[in-house]
Amino acid sequence: MHSRDMTRRTFLRAAASAVAVPYVITSSALSAGGNRQTAPSERVNMGFIGLGGQGTGHLLGGAWTYVPGGYIACSDVQVMAVCDVRQERRNHAWKRCNQIYAERFNRPNYDGVQAYNDFREVLARTDIDAVLLALPYHWAAPMAIMAMRSGKDVYCEKPIAITVRQAQTLVETARCHSRIYQAGTQQRSEYDGKFRQACEYVRNGRIGQLKEVYAYRLPGAFVPSPWTSDRSVAVPDGFNWDLWLGPLPWRPYGGEAGHTLSGLFVGDVNWSPHHYDIIQWTVNPDLKAPINVEYDKGNVHYHYKNGVVVHSAGHPGEPVGLEGGACFVGTEGRIAVDRNNIVSYPANILKETLWPDDKRVYHADSHSGNFLECILTRMQTICNPEIAAYTMNAILIGGIALALQRDVHWNPATLEFAADETANRLLSYTPRPPWCL
């Protein structure tokens, strides 16, 4: 134990290890912002790895991150490290964070935030409790797994994992090392509870028996392919291209280094997790029951054992659902929801309130607040590894059907396709050394 002895944080962690996970965690007392001053011993010490638009938004405040002023504005967080393979990004974050703390603590020469090129140096620090990862697609699962093995709690932006085997290892690692993990599918917590409301109304039979769901988005999958381009340009100064590639096969720098490289994916693994996460939450399938994925001229249809069919397209004539949502169709009506709207047909469905004895789902009003609260209490987050992996696997198996242009039959109990060696080959890939997990 650190020399600061038994702080509130260490006491809660020790006490929580002996209690069961609660059904509901309400909005967190640790939500970002606020005026309450927190003792240094009670703050969550964090490192931020990946400082592009999403990562910097989480750190300093920005669109789609839902933390006013960023985590650095949260009195319950102490930013300790920033890391990126691009020098200009990490230097900007390093200077800005130290400047903010210098002003807040009235310490002109404050230098408590350190900048790193190699994420392994951040993971090696024993004074860092948690890391926030906003990375290229291929790094999300490997780095999250390495972080949890190093004793860190993890908030990871989508796509969570790009293969089923990565997702499986992610779940096993979190369980083995007793780590807290939050997937960055914020719709469960944000947007004034619209998605939670839709989920609870459907689960409680307000549209009758659920029959169909329209996802408005194709799923996707990682499909490794040989690099065929002859394009090769000089790596920009201050950019560690080899570390950016990481587990991917070596290829020269061709001027492309955003979320991913061309030719490695079919469908969509970036935006679709928002849609399919809400769908899985609402459909509430038997997690071990087989799923038949039907390929249909560039679209897919998921056939669940409970009779629900999920379509990768949008509902005909219904615009609500495009922004991260879905349309749920039952025997007595339908509900469509996205980040901007929730509508029902007939309209009186949403005018009727839920009864006290109706079924409820996990309630959190702040995705970041929920993560910070669970770090202290050691309770499961609203989008824990098992939830994130099940949703991501649904996306990946649909993407494999797209890649093969045929039906596939998925068994979640074995995490394999039934009698389908070709499809099963796409459940993993061989990482480039030394990144084998």
pLDDT in tens, 96-115: 999 999 999 999 999 999 99
> What is the distance of C-alpha 114 from the center of its chain?
26
* Strand runs labelled E in 280-363: 291-296, 299-303, 309-311, 326-330, 333-337, 342-345
Residue 390's φ and ψ, nearest 5 degrees, are -65, -45
Could you count the other beta carbons within 10 Å of the beta carbon of residue 297? Answer: 5
Rounded average pLDDT over 311-321: 97
Interacting residues of 164 by C-beta distance below 8 A, sequence separation 6+: 393, 396, 397, 415, 427, 428
Of 374, 112, 235, 307, give the one whose Cα is nearest residue 383: 374
Q: Angle at Cα 286 formed by Cα 285 and Cα 288, nearest 5°?
A: 130
Of 299, 305, 270, give the one whose Cα is nearest residue 412: 305
Q: What is the pLDDT of residue 13?
A: 45
Q: What is the pLDDT of residue 397?
A: 98
Of 351, 345, 314, 311, give the one whose Cα is nearest residue 330: 345
For residues 355 and 363, give the distance between their C-alpha atoms in angstroms, rounded to a whole number. Answer: 16
Q: Express as a percent the part of the chain with pLDDT over 90.
A: 84
For residues 232 and 301, give the distance between their C-alpha atoms in angstroms, rounded to a whole number. Answer: 40
Average per-residue pLDDT for the chain: 91
Q: What is the pLDDT of residue 99?
A: 98
C-beta of residue 325 within 8 angstroms of C-beta of residue 337? yes
Of 278, 275, 276, 272, give the one whose Cα is nearest residue 291: 276
Rounded average pLDDT over 299-323: 97
Instruction: Give residue-wise pLDDT tens across range 229-277.
Output: 777 899 999 999 999 999 999 989 988 778 888 889 999 999 999 999 9
> Pairing state of beta strands 153-156 and 130-133?
parallel
pLDDT tier for residue 164 given thresholds of 50, 70 and 90: very high
Q: What is the pLDDT of residue 263?
A: 85
C-beta of residue 59 within 8 angstroms of C-beta of residue 211? no
What are the chain's domains? Answer: 8-188 (3.40.50.720)
Q: Express as a percent the part of the chain with pLDDT over 70.
A: 91
